[in-house]
């Protein structure tokens, strides 16, 4: 028993005599970067509308207009990629106007049907971005209503985000070096970097959606151009990133 107690005391004494490990010195800073990139993709919406005396005629007219759009847009000169989506198809009755006026607010479902109105909403995405005006012009030329250039975007946002993150890390390193120099130290290396929510271990780099790759615009027949040349010049897209980084100093 005495021997065990003696060995325990010697062990504690040996541990106490070991030099203490110095705490690691770090500096935590934020880093920011904003880069401007010219967009390469456009998004246009439009509606194809028909007014016909009966349902069959309305459906046939809608179908013909949709076929014209799908045959003509891919032939536009300068288009490299194109995607046409049609959704929200409607075919509704149009009641006799005089009866509806006499029925007052809300109308009267028993009024005779004077015709049918049909509509198809279109979403058109394509590239390059500077062809957006030609697409808008051609859709209008083909009889589409409420044609609108919705937005410009980047087909590969992830690649531009990566560039911005690299620039943000360099910004953080410059700030850390300035702080360390003011304290008579120097930065020796990057310890940790986090995007989004600080140094929360449960957080991870945000994911960014990338537009799916769509097929090159098929060139069916000869190339065409709209009657009205609508020249649209997109503005640069800003890609901004902010990080928090920890640097070792000595």
- The pLDDT tens digits of the residues spanning 89-119 come to 887 888 888 887 777 766 666 788 888 888 9
Q: Are residues 32 and 119 in the same domain?
A: no
Q: Which of 41, 56, 227 is nearest to 143 (CA)?
A: 227
Q: Are residues 61 and 137 in the same domain?
A: yes
Q: Is residue 2 in some structural domain?
A: no
Domain that holds residue 248: 23-39+155-214+232-250
Residue-level pLDDT at 7: 44
Residue-level pLDDT at 15: 53
Upper half-sphere CA count for residue 111 (Cβ side, 13 Å): 19
How do 81-95 and 113-127 pair as beta strands? antiparallel
Q: What is the DSSP string of 160-187?
A: HHHHHHHHHHHHHHHHHHHHHHHTT--E
Q: Are residues 70 and 140 in the same domain?
A: yes
Residue-level pLDDT at 11: 53
Q: Are residues 29 and 71 in the same domain?
A: no
- Diameter of the chain measured on Cα atoms: 114
Q: Is residue 13 in some structural domain?
A: no
| CATH code of the domain covering residue 209 | 3.30.110.170
Residue-level pLDDT at 1: 53
Q: What is the dihedral of CA 248, 32, 43, 231, to 10 degrees?
A: -130
Q: Which residue has 């808008």 as its token pair?
A: 136
Q: Are residues 100 and 188 in the same domain?
A: no
Residue-level pLDDT at 160: 93
Q: Are residues 45 and 142 in the same domain?
A: yes
Number of domain units in the chain: 2
Q: Is residue 5 in some structural domain?
A: no
Q: Is residue 126 in some structural domain?
A: yes
Q: Is residue 148 in some structural domain?
A: yes
Q: Are residues 182 and 160 in the same domain?
A: yes
Residue-level pLDDT at 16: 52
Q: Are residues 85 and 209 in the same domain?
A: no
Going from the C-alpha of 70 to that of each of 3, 126, 129, 141, 221, the distances in angstroms are 95, 13, 19, 14, 13
Per-10-residue mean pLDDT, the chain, length 250: 49 53 83 95 94 83 91 94 88 81 70 85 95 95 92 93 94 96 94 68 30 41 83 91 94
């Amino acid at each position: 028993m005495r021997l065990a107690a003696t060995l325990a005391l010697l062990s504690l004494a040996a541990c106490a005599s070991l030099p203490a490990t110095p705490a690691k010195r770090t500096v935590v800073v934020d880093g920011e970067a904003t880069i401007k990139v010219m967009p390469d993709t456009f998004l246009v919406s439009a509606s194809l509308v028909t007014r016909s005396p009966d349902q069959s005629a309305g459906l046939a007219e809608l179908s013909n207009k949709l076929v014209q759009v799908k045959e003509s847009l891919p032939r536009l000169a300068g288009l490299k990629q194109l995607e046409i989506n049609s959704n929200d198809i409607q075919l509704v009755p149009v009641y006799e106007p005089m009866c509806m006026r006499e029925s007052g607010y809300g109308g009267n479902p028993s009024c005779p049907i004077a015709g049918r109105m049909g509509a198809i909403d279109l979403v058109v995405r394509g590239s390059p971005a500077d062809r957006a005006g030609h697409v808008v012009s051609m859709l209008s030329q083909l009889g589409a209503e409420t044609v609108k250039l919705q937005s410009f975007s980047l087909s590969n946002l992830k690649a531009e985000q990566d560039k911005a993150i690299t620039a943000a890390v360099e910004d953080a390193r410059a700030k850390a070096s300035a702080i360390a120099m003011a304290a008579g130290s120097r930065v020796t290396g990057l310890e940790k970097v986090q995007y989004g929510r600080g140094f929360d271990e449960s957080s991870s780099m945000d994911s960014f959606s990338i537009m799916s790759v769509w097929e090159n615009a098929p060139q069916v027949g000869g190339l065409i151009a709209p009657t009205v040349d609508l020249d649209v010049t997109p503005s640069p897209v800003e890609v901004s990133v902010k990080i928090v980084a920890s640097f070792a100093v000595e």
